[in-house]
Amino acid sequence: MSGPVSSAYLDHSASTLMRPEAFEAMVPWLTDRPANPSGAHRLAREARRAIDDAREIMAVALGAQPGEIVFTSGGTEADNLAVFGVHDRRGGVVVCAATEHHAVLEPTQSAGGRVVAVDGRGVIDLAALAGALDDEVTLVSVMVANNEVGTVQPMAEVVEIVRRLAPAATIHSDAVQALTWLDVAALTAGADLVSVSAHKFGGPKGVGALVVRDGTALAARQIGGGQERERRSGTQNVGGIVAMAVAAEAAVATRSATVERVARLRDRLADGLLAAIPGAIETGISAGDRSQRIAGTCHLCLADVESEALLFLLEEAGISASAAASCASGAMEPSHVLAAMGIPRDLAFGSLRLTLGWSSTDADVDLALAVIPAAAAQLRAYATPAEVSP
Amino acid sequence: MAMSGGVDSSVAAALLLEGGHDVTGVTMKLWGGASDQGCCSVADVDDARRVAQELDIQHLVFNFGDDFTTHVVDPYVAAHAAGATPNPCIECNRHLKFDRLVRRADSLGFDAIATGHHARVVTGPDGTHRIARGADAAKDQSYVLHMLGADLLDRVLLPVGTMTKDAVRAHATRLGLRTAAKPDSQDVCFITATGGRRTFLGERIALHPGRLVDTSGVDVGRVDAVELVTIGQRKGLGLAGDAAPRYAVAVDARAGVVTVGSAADLLAIDVVVGDLAWSGKAPPAGVELLAQTSAHGVARPMVLTSATDDGTVTGRWSEGPQRRVAPGQSVAFYDGDVVLGGGIAR
């Protein structure tokens, strides 16, 4: 089928556009600067210095000390290092929220941990969290902002409860979706471990970081040359790290302006779709209160519409969007996040995640508003009762 | 274009492109459990996607796992629990490829659906479409498509049905498709080679030991799972030492009794067939047609009675008694090479 004339990228939570300044900063390290930062010559020292500079920038962006920044291959490695790193060292019980990313949820479950319920908005049930805490708990992991629906967790309250009821527990927070939208340094000030991933805020894929506060007991998962102060081995991705720091700096510097601008776009998008699609539900939002959401996320559930089919029609019309996380084969799987929020399975099959980013424009929203209601109507015309309520 | 990741659907997609069609490849994700073959594994989806990329067509993956469980796996398990021998591939064609996927394609604005089956769509004397045997008799799959109605066949394309398997592979090789030498899929996609039927069913239903009796009701042995015995089965009954071969000729799962008998006891002159589906109008009673009772079986002449109140027909073999058809197996009816319809043996 021929490609559409106009297009709108509405999948920034999956991966956002690289910021031009981050790309510029990365290129020299991919071309004429080959050295390994652990080397002994001048070129190596240049690479080393670039990483050291980047570490300082990341520390400022994340409210940490430079020595507390551990560079990783991305968010999943950072999350795995946090959960397994603490569990391997200290044993005990890991606790996480039901809506955590699989990169936290799977390690938690594999360590035999406890999963804490969330409410209909996706906010962690603080009473349930309190109930899950005892002296055996060594790690509590609660994300700053959710990757599917964008729910922001009350980190200060989480930290207060954990410190009170499980004072020996380490606190991890997955901030992978947060840096573009939220003051991560402030929100995670009480956490011991914080994960970020560069490609979610304008850096490249394949690089991330874990903040490991001084004094946090953590076993390395990837061992070898000990490059990241024995907490993570492997030659650093110099260009990626440099670009990540530039992107982080830009994200933090432009954050308030981005949030203000994109929230307006998102509200126009969400309100427009809710008005134009009969029966559309803004997932986990009641009375239009989006205060618990990051500014870029619009998540809808459309009864009698199947996401897989809808996404194809959107793609044909130039819109890149998503429903939920994808499995290895590319097929859509029912979302554990929506299930945890109490969304019925058949409604969850009609989920639509539209995520805006730092580069989103009014034209993106215009196209989405022009295309999505008609696509939903087309599919509803074909929906059979069996599909509506299996 | 339904693409399983095998050579037939790869070549079918290429042929459609060569014919000037606007082609989108689709792989159905049907089974979330353990699978080491068939169209459900990640490796097969990878193959389908890579072939689509090589052909420069779009490739989508649709998750129809819930439908597959409801329409294929659950009935498969229930049939075994009742002592029948289901054919899940036929139910997958009936409910998934040629219903769920067709409805999805309709809703997305596609005007035809294609698969890599070795069968042909032909036009009958009345102008309606029918399934007919594929050009490669050894690979013919018309039997597993017997339930497709004429209305649906108006928009079904089977591009490799006019080719031999060798020609399909040669075409794939010529195009440099990665699936050119890929072995054919075998058996049921959701049953693993290592675990087999016993493990799969054992995890889902209670398997009961049963008595083996001869045709006069005398105990002759035991089986450890009545639900796994198929009519016509000879091996695995613990009767290998007998002078004459003995076969399972009846399975009563509820009573836990398997009746064994000689090759002659396995024969029956009549077959009762229910769940009938005809491509066009049901043929009039008394007309002789051909009936095929397994995927690679031989079609033999049969005369059908008229349908009874419970929707079944009884077929009488024209050439005398034939090997009994296990309840649950499909029976496809042909006029020459053309499929008239079929149903499920009772």
For residue range A166-190, list pLDDT tens digits in order: 999 999 999 999 999 999 999 999 9
Torsion of CA A21, A23, A29, A30, to 10 degrees: -160
Query: Which of A331, A382, A387 minimises the CB distance to B61?
Result: A331
Cross-chain Cβ contact A306/B104 below 8 Å: yes
Strand B113-114 with B156-157, pairing: parallel
Average pLDDT over all residues of chain A: 94
Does the CB of A382 have a partner CB in chain B at under 8 Å? yes
**pLDDT higher than threshold 50 for residue B247:** yes
Confidence tier at A390 by pLDDT (50, 70, 90):
very low
Query: Which of A1, A332, A384 minimises the CB distance to B103?
Result: A384
Per residue in B278-295, pLDDT (tens digit) is 988 888 899 999 999 999
Distance from CA of A371 to the nearest CA of B (A): 14
3-class secondary-structure state, position B18: helix
Per residue in B197-241, pLDDT (tens digit) is 999 999 999 999 999 999 999 999 999 999 999 999 988 787 777
Does the CB of A379 have a partner CB in chain B at under 8 Å? yes
Q: Let me know if the fold of A8-17+255-388 is the same as that of A20-253.
A: no
Distance from CA of A279 to the nearest CA of B (A): 19
- Helices then strands, counting H and E runs in chain B, come out as 9, 18
In chain B, what are the domain boundaries? 7-116+159-175, 206-261, 267-345
Judged on CB neighbours under 10 Å (0-12, 13-18, 19+), B86 is buried
What does each C-alpha distance from A307 to A9, A19, A312, A355, B177 come to in angstroms? 17, 30, 8, 15, 31
Does the CB of A328 have a partner CB in chain B at under 8 Å? yes
- CA gap A204, A207 in Å, rounded: 7
- CA gap B299, B342 in Å, rounded: 12
Retrieve residue B194's tokens. Answer: 């290592």
Cβ-based contacts of B109 with chain A (< 8 Å): 378
Cross-chain Cβ contact B106/A312 below 8 Å: no
Does the CB of A378 have a partner CB in chain B at under 8 Å? yes
**pLDDT higher than threshold 80 for residue A160:** yes
Cross-chain Cβ contact A332/B109 below 8 Å: no
Query: Which of B29, B58, B107 minimises the CB distance to A379?
Result: B107
Q: Which of A84-88, B177-181, B252-256 has the highest mean pLDDT?
A: A84-88
Q: What is the pLDDT of residue A22?
A: 98
Cβ-based contacts of B103 with chain A (< 8 Å): 382, 384, 387
Q: What is the pLDDT of residue B147?
A: 96
Q: If you write DSSP's letter for every residue of A187-242 in order, what string do you get?
A: HTTT-SEEEEEGGGTTS-TT-EEEEE-TT-----SS-SS-TTTTSS-S---HHHHH
Distance from CA of B204 to the nearest CA of A (A): 22
Closest chain B residue by Cα to residue A384: B103
Going by C-alpha positions, the residue among A75, A139, A78, A72 that lies closest to residue A111 is A139
The CATH number of the domain covering residues in B206-261? 2.30.30.280
Distance from CA of A2 to the nearest CA of B (A): 9
- What is the Rg, in whole angstroms, of the alpha carbon atoms belonging to chain A? 21
Confidence tier at A331 by pLDDT (50, 70, 90):
low
- CA gap B29, B293 in Å, rounded: 29
- CA gap A199, B54 in Å, rounded: 29
Backbone φ and ψ of A215, nearest 5°: 90, -5
Q: What is the pLDDT of residue B274?
A: 94
Per residue in A297-315, pLDDT (tens digit) is 999 999 999 999 999 999 9
- CA gap B281, B331 in Å, rounded: 17
Summarize the confidence of residues A352-376 as an average pLDDT: 97
Query: Model's pTM, two decimal places?
Result: 0.89
As for the ipTM of the complex, it is 0.84
Cβ-based contacts of B65 with chain A (< 8 Å): 331
Retrieve residue A82's tokens. Answer: 């946090």
Retrieve residue A9's tokens. Answer: 């990228």
Lowest mean pLDDT among A185-194, B15-24, B104-113, B235-244: B235-244
Judged on CB neighbours under 10 Å (0-12, 13-18, 19+), B309 is exposed
Going by C-alpha positions, the residue among A182, A196, A180, A101 that lies closest to residue A360 is A180
**pLDDT higher than threshold 60 for residue B66:** yes
Contact A63, A37 (CB under 8 A): no
B40 catalytic? Reply is no
**pLDDT higher than threshold 50 for residue A296:** yes
Does the CB of A344 have a partner CB in chain B at under 8 Å? no
Query: Which of A309, A328, A332 minimises the CB distance to B104?
Result: A309
Q: What is the pLDDT of residue A5?
A: 73
Closest chain B residue by Cα to residue A2: B22
Beta bridge partner(s), residue A196 = A209
What is the torsional sign of CA B184, B190, B191, B193?
A: positive
Cross-chain Cβ contact B58/A333 below 8 Å: no
Domain A20-253 in CATH 3.40.640.10? The answer is yes
B39 catalytic? Reply is no
Instruction: Identify the residue whose tokens are 């986990």.
Output: A284
Q: What is the pLDDT of residue A388?
A: 42
Distance from CA of A316 to the nearest CA of B (A): 10
Does the CB of A6 have a partner CB in chain B at under 8 Å? no
Per residue in A100-145, pLDDT (tens digit) is 999 999 999 999 999 999 999 999 999 999 999 999 999 999 999 9
Does the CB of A112 have a partner CB in chain B at under 8 Å? no
Contact B139, B118 (CB under 8 A): yes
Does the CB of A1 have a partner CB in chain B at under 8 Å? yes
Cross-chain Cβ contact B45/A329 below 8 Å: yes
Distance from CA of B220 to the nearest CA of A (A): 47
DSSP for residue B143: G
Per residue in A3-62, pLDDT (tens digit) is 677 899 999 999 999 999 999 999 999 999 999 999 999 999 999 999 999 999 999 999
**pLDDT higher than threshold 60 for residue B37:** no
Q: Please give the interface size between A and B, counted as residue pairs whose CB atoms are below 8 Å apart.
A: 47
Q: What is the pLDDT of residue A389?
A: 40
Cross-chain Cβ contact B62/A1 below 8 Å: no
Contact A47, A33 (CB under 8 A): yes
Going by C-alpha positions, the residue among A286, A260, A292, A258 that lies closest to residue A274 is A286
Chain B residues contacting A, CB < 8 Å?
22, 24, 27, 29, 32, 42, 45-46, 49, 58, 60-63, 65-66, 70, 103-104, 106-109
Active site residues of A: 327
**pLDDT higher than threshold 90 for residue A382:** no
Per residue in A277-290, pLDDT (tens digit) is 999 999 999 888 99
Q: Let me know if the fold of B7-116+159-175 is the same as that of B206-261.
A: no
Q: Which residues contact A374 (CB under 8 A, 6 or more apart)?
A: none
Contact A17, A9 (CB under 8 A): yes
Query: Which of B61, B70, B108 minimises the CB distance to A330?
Result: B61
Q: Where are the beta strands (DSSP E) in chain B?
A: 24-29, 58-63, 113-114, 119-123, 129-133, 156-157, 210-213, 219-223, 247-252, 257-261, 267-268, 270-278, 288-292, 300-304, 313-317, 322-323, 330-335, 338-345
Cross-chain Cβ contact A332/B49 below 8 Å: no
Does the CB of A384 have a partner CB in chain B at under 8 Å? yes
Task: State the catalytic residue, choosing from B39, B40, B89, B92.
Answer: B92
Cβ-based contacts of A378 with chain B (< 8 Å): 107, 109
Cβ-based contacts of A308 with chain B (< 8 Å): 60, 62-63, 104
Domain B7-116+159-175: give its CATH architecture.
3-Layer(aba) Sandwich (3.40)
Q: Which residues contact A175 (CB under 8 A, 6 or more apart)?
A: A62, A143, A144, A145, A182, A184, A187, A188, A194, A195, A196
Going by C-alpha positions, the residue among B64, B54, B146 that lies closest to residue B105 is B64
**pLDDT higher than threshold 60 for residue A201:** yes
**A interface test, pick of B107, B110, B111, B189 with most A CB neighbours within 10 Å:** B107
Which superfamily does CATH assign the domain made up of B267-345 to? Translation factors (2.40.30.10)
**pLDDT higher than threshold 90 for residue A77:** yes
Cross-chain Cβ contact B45/A379 below 8 Å: no
The CATH number of the domain covering residues in A8-17+255-388? 3.90.1150.10
Q: Where are the beta strands (DSSP E) in A2-80?
A: 8-9, 69-72
Instruction: Identify the residue whose tokens are 């606190």.
Output: A171
Per residue in A229-244, pLDDT (tens digit) is 999 999 999 999 999 9
- Helices then strands, counting H and E runs in chain A, come out as 14, 12
Retrieve residue B273's tokens. Answer: 């067939």
Crossing angle between the packed helical segments B165-175 and B7-18, to the nearest 10 degrees: 70
Summarize the confidence of residues B45-63 as an average pLDDT: 93
**B interface test, pick of A320, A329, A333 with most B CB neighbours within 10 Å:** A329
- CA gap A327, B227 in Å, rounded: 34
**pLDDT higher than threshold 80 for residue A332:** no
Cross-chain Cβ contact A1/B58 below 8 Å: yes
Summarize the confidence of residues A254-263 as an average pLDDT: 98
Cross-chain Cβ contact B107/A382 below 8 Å: yes
Retrieve residue A198's tokens. Answer: 């560069």
Which residue type is seen at A365?
Answer: V
Confidence tier at B34 by pLDDT (50, 70, 90):
low
In chain A, what are the domain boundaries? 8-17+255-388, 20-253
Confidence tier at A1 by pLDDT (50, 70, 90):
very low
Which residue type is seen at A25?
Answer: A
